[in-house]
């Protein structure tokens, strides 16, 4: 039971932190990813670094929990590929991975 309570508290705290984030810069990033293939290539290498150039800041505590960004094209392909962020983020997570994702999307950009 203690582990379940710890997980519930961790999830609650993550949602509180997410509610304080300004997601506005991601709208322009989303438009630019659609219009600029070379930007998408840079995004694949380091999505959060590219997002920070556009003014988006993800708290370090959420990065440690495995939050990340992806771009999805009209053929439903993920950039970076779906396996890359998941495997990397699970290594950083401080609690056991439960297989749950929360996706918030714009036209092509996801915060996962």
pLDDT band with cut points at 50, 70 and 90 for residue 85 = very low
* 73-84 pLDDT per residue, tens: 777 888 888 765
- In the chain, the percentage of residues whose pLDDT exceeds 90 is 23
**Choice between 97 and 63, residue whose per-residue pLDDT is larger:** 63
**Cβ–Cβ < 8 Å for 33, 39:** yes
One-character DSSP codes across 1-23: -HHHHHHHHHHHHHHHHHHT---
pLDDT for residue 93 is more than 60? no
Beta bridge partners of 69: 111
**pLDDT at 53 (0 to 100):** 95
């Amino acid at each position: 039971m203690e582990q379940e309570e710890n997980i519930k508290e961790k999830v609650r705290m993550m949602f509180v932190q997410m509610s304080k984030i300004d997601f506005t810069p991601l709208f322009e990033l989303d438009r630019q990813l659609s219009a600029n293939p070379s930007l998408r290539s840079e995004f694949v290498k380091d999505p959060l670094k590219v997002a920070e150039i556009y003014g988006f800041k993800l708290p370090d505590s959420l990065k440690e929990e495995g939050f990340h960004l992806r771009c999805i094209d009209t053929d439903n392909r993920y950039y970076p590929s779906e396996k890359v962020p998941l495997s990397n983020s699970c290594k950083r997570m401080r609690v056991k991975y439960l297989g749950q994702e929360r996706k918030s999307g714009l036209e092509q950009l996801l915060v996962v």
